[in-house]
Structure 1
């Protein structure tokens, strides 16, 4: 495994896809995050959100196209879960877009690949909602409020165990990537928010 590049390509493909999913999620939640004053990557990326996301996703597809696209499909379908009865720009309802995306994934990538991605993304979404329970008290899309906080955590663990059963390397890589991405973004915002030393003397010092 040390000398075989394939596992590394899978891991970094998952990591880069995770960044894209995070950017997409932040873009969709930018108005709500602005309302509660929560860090959002679109604050920094601005109009560069789309080109950066496409560039990073292109790299992920070069490394491992099947894993990258199946995770993105799963993320897209899961994102529709909060808008099941809403009419989308395509003219379809949220549940219709989610169903079509899942079916496409099953046809293109197979049952194991698509369901392992879907279970992993759902687990991460549930854990994220559990962590954001206090800050998302005004959100109607947080599953910790819909299901209950403890139930949300437990269900997330169950989905993760199922994803490990289907594809342990993808599941572990996905969780590890999630921690790295969250930590990097936290450091990024700490650096941005840190007062810059201009070298000017402050009166009274």
Structure 2
């Protein structure tokens, strides 16, 4: 009984904590841009400790289920690098080069099935997120997938990627989708409540 529950519940919790860690990392990096837009940012709520809370959340996620949380986090990192291809980082590599290195590591370490699932799922989530934020991103001159592909195309890409991810691993798809949806709804409620 516990084994059956843990196969769904632990990945669900791992996804939830991974999503929180990604949100905190994203807010830390976007603090200035969000300030210009008057958009809620957890950096204003958690202060300088936000990276520590993000790391703590990722550590909890990895403890619950590393084979789910770490590939999802790495997929987020890769897509983040795709948005910032021109910058050079401490190793002297561009964003795309760092992304490719992490991509190679992900496939070698986790295997094609798990890592392809993570990339497809996160790309679908990113397409939907960019669709929601298209106007705000345009206001600050930030390019996203909507500006690259178009609004309808972004939705179609998200649906295709969700479908492919589900085909690769339907058992993992359900807790992953549930974890991301719950995190998104909880964050939206928190942000609206804080802005009142």
Q: Counterpart in 2 of 1:141? A: 143
Deviation at 1:3, TM superposition (A): 5.8
Q: TM-score, normalised by structure 1?
A: 0.88
Give TM-score, length-normalised by structure 2. 0.92
Structure number with greater CO (CA < 8 Å, separation at least 6) is 2
Larger radius of gyration: 1
**Secondary structure of 1:84 counterpart:** coil
Higher-helix-fraction structure? 2
Q: 2:173 matched to which residue of 1?
A: 171
Q: For 1:19 and 1:44, how far apart are their aligned partners in 2?
A: 14
Residues 24-49 of structure 1 deviation map (CA, whole Å, 9 limit, x = unaligned): 12222221111111112222111111
Unaligned runs of 5+ in 2: none
Tell me how far 1:2 sits from its aligned partner: 7.0
Identify the residue that residue 65 of structure 1 maps to in structure 2: 66
Partner in structure 2 of residue 36 of structure 1: 37
Counterpart of 1:150 in structure 2 is 152
Structure 1 unaligned blocks of 5 or more: 195-205
Query: 1:197 — aligned with what?
Result: none
Q: Which residue does 2:21 correspond to in 1? A: 20
CA contact (8 A) 2:81 2:99 kept: yes
1:119–1:159 Cα contact (<8 Å) kept: yes
Which runs of structure 1 show a deviation greater than 3 angstroms over 4 or more consecutive aligned residues? none
Q: How many residues align?
A: 194
**Can you list the C-alpha shifts for 1:113-135, whole angstroms capped at 9, x where unaligned?**
11100111110000100111222
